[in-house]
């Protein structure tokens, strides 16, 4: 079997290691030629996860057409804002029935599309599309630290295929038919993680972070329910599991961005310093707009956007959240009589 992995950042490198270590032939597309050269020459990515030994079953290519040639499945591991452009590069090269799974977590700005919707818009044939999401920091997956994830697809055989491809003794893969919930959970939890980082940055405590995470999960669930997701999905790996990891981990770019901004930094400065993409920065815009399009208020997301882009003060944003009108804890979750 040959799998094309499109994107050679930290997660793409970890995924190549994960799949390639099973003896699967992996063709890895790297935008930067020096990454392809480094992997093929000495089995290490010189820019991302340089300590990870990439198996010989992985061959890197700077040309996306070469990477796709003969692939029986495609794994997209680019930042969410690059998914459409990447898909356009694949169109005309990739056969119309080749399974494609997306690992990017985000909602497209402007269109408010989930990533599989973007792929369907460009590539067509939604039946072959899938999404993977969960508490999966590349730094830990690539070291064989026990982890788990969830695959969602429109068609069960496609989900099962990717479950088999990714399953390893230290990487457990579940399936879930709720592709809407899995994708929206992955996008919206990044915004909550930025809020958690802001809380860390101003020196608030465990109570504050636990409150942000819990009420953030409620925001995520309400939005998902409004858009047709199963609220129970948010109790799983793509919801609560990913939220916990992203809000608390030292590896979390989104938590680190929030802390950076709370201490006086900017979104642009963080990107320049780390050369990494914190998806929550873009999702603060797109998820907020998506919620507005269905007439829904997401208070935490709204305040994160205000701090990142409108000059709002973190402490003032916190005060606004704490001063909101009292309500029922389960409001909007479909679990109480909301007409009363």
What positions carry a catalytic annotation? Answer: 189
My answer on whether 169 and 243 are in the same domain is no
Q: Is the pLDDT confidence value at 60 over 90?
A: yes
Q: Is the pLDDT confidence value at 151 over 90?
A: yes
Task: Using pLDDT thresholds of 50, 70 and 90, give the confidence band for residue 274.
Answer: confident
Give this prediction's pTM: 0.93
Q: Which of 79, 80, 124, 82 is CA-nearest to residue 100?
A: 124
Give domain status of residue 26, yes or no. Answer: yes
Give domain status of residue 227, yes or no. Answer: yes
Q: Is the pLDDT confidence value at 337 over 70?
A: no
Q: Which of 179, 153, 143 is CA-nearest to residue 73?
A: 153
CA–CA distance, 296 with 225 (Å, rounded to integer): 11
Task: Using pLDDT thresholds of 50, 70 and 90, give the confidence band for residue 328.
Answer: confident
Count of Cβ atoms closer than 10 Å to residue 329 Cβ: 10
Give domain status of residue 265, yes or no. Answer: yes
Containing H/E element for 245? helix 242-248
Task: Using pLDDT thresholds of 50, 70 and 90, give the confidence band for residue 339.
Answer: very low
My answer on whether 303 and 221 are in the same domain is yes
Task: Using pLDDT thresholds of 50, 70 and 90, give the confidence band for residue 84.
Answer: very high
Give the end of a domain, one of 177, 196, 231: 177
My answer on whether 116 and 46 are in the same domain is yes
Q: Which of 14, 6, 23 is CA-nearest to residue 67?
A: 6
Largest CA distance in the chain: 67
Give the pLDDT confidence of 223-246 residue by residue, as tens digits: 999 999 999 999 999 999 999 999
Q: Give the distance, in angstroms, between the CA of residue 248 and the centroid of all CA atoms in the same chain.
A: 16
Tell me which residue range forms the domain holding 161: 2-177
Q: What is the CATH number of the domain that holds 211?
A: 1.10.1040.10
* Average pLDDT, integer, range 95-100: 96
* Average pLDDT, integer, range 175-200: 97
The sign one gets for the Cα dihedral 73, 77, 83, 85 is negative
pLDDT for res 261? 96
Q: Is the pLDDT confidence value at 130 over 80?
A: yes
Which distant-in-sequence residues (6+ apart) come within 8 Å of 121 by Cβ?
A: 84, 111, 113
pLDDT for res 247? 97
Q: Is the pLDDT confidence value at 202 over 50?
A: yes
My answer on whether 83 and 169 are in the same domain is yes
Give domain status of residue 50, yes or no. Answer: yes
My answer on whether 20 and 83 are in the same domain is yes
My answer on whether 277 and 238 are in the same domain is yes
pLDDT for res 335? 54
Q: How many domains does the chain have?
A: 2
Task: Please state, rounded to an integer, the average pLDDT across all residues of the chain.
Answer: 94
Q: What is the CATH number of the domain that holds 170?
A: 3.40.50.720
My answer on whether 117 and 105 are in the same domain is yes
* Average pLDDT, integer, range 35-63: 97
My answer on whether 246 and 198 are in the same domain is yes
My answer on whether 157 and 19 are in the same domain is yes
């Amino acid at each position: 079997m040959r799998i094309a992995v499109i994107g050679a950042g930290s997660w793409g490198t970890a995924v190549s290691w994960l799949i390639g270590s099973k003896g699967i032939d992996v063709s890895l597309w790297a935008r930067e030629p020096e990454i392809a050269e480094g992997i093929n020459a000495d089995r290490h990515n010189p820019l991302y996860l340089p300590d990870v030994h990439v198996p010989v079953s992985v061959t890197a290519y700077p040309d996306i057409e070469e990477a796709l040639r003969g692939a029986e499945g495609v794994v997209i591991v680019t930042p969410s804002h690059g998914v459409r452009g990447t898909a356009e590069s694949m169109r005309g090269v990739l056969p119309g029935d080749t399974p494609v799974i997306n690992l990017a977590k985000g909602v497209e700005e402007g269109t408010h599309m989930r990533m599989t919707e973007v792929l369907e818009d460009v590539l067509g044939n939604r039946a072959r599309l899938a999404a993977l999401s969960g508490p999966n920091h590349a730094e830990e997956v690539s070291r064989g630290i026990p982890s788990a994830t969830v695959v969602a697809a429109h068609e069960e055989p496609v989900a099962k295929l990717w479950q088999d491809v990714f399953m390893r003794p230290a990487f457990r893969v579940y399936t879930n038919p709720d592709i809407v919930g899995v994708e929206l959970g992955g996008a919206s939890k990044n915004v909550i993680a930025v809020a958690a980082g802001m809380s860390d940055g101003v020196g608030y405590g465990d109570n504050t972070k636990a409150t942000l995470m819990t009420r953030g999960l409620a925001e995520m669930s309400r939005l998902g329910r409004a858009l047709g997701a199963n609220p129970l999905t948010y109790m799983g790996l793509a919801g609560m599991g990913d939220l916990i990891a992203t809000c608390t981990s030292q590896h979390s770019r989104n938590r680190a961005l929030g802390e950076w901004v709370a201490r006086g930094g900017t979104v642009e400065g963080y990107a320049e310093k780390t050369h990494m993409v914190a998806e929550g920065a873009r999702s603060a815009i797109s998820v907020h707009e998506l919620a507005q399009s269905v007439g829904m208020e997401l208070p935490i997301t709204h305040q994160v956007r205000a701090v990142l882009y409108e000059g709002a003060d973190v402490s003032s944003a916190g005060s606004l959240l704490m001063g909101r009108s009292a309500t029922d804890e389960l409001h909007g979750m479909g679990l109480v009589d909301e007409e009363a």
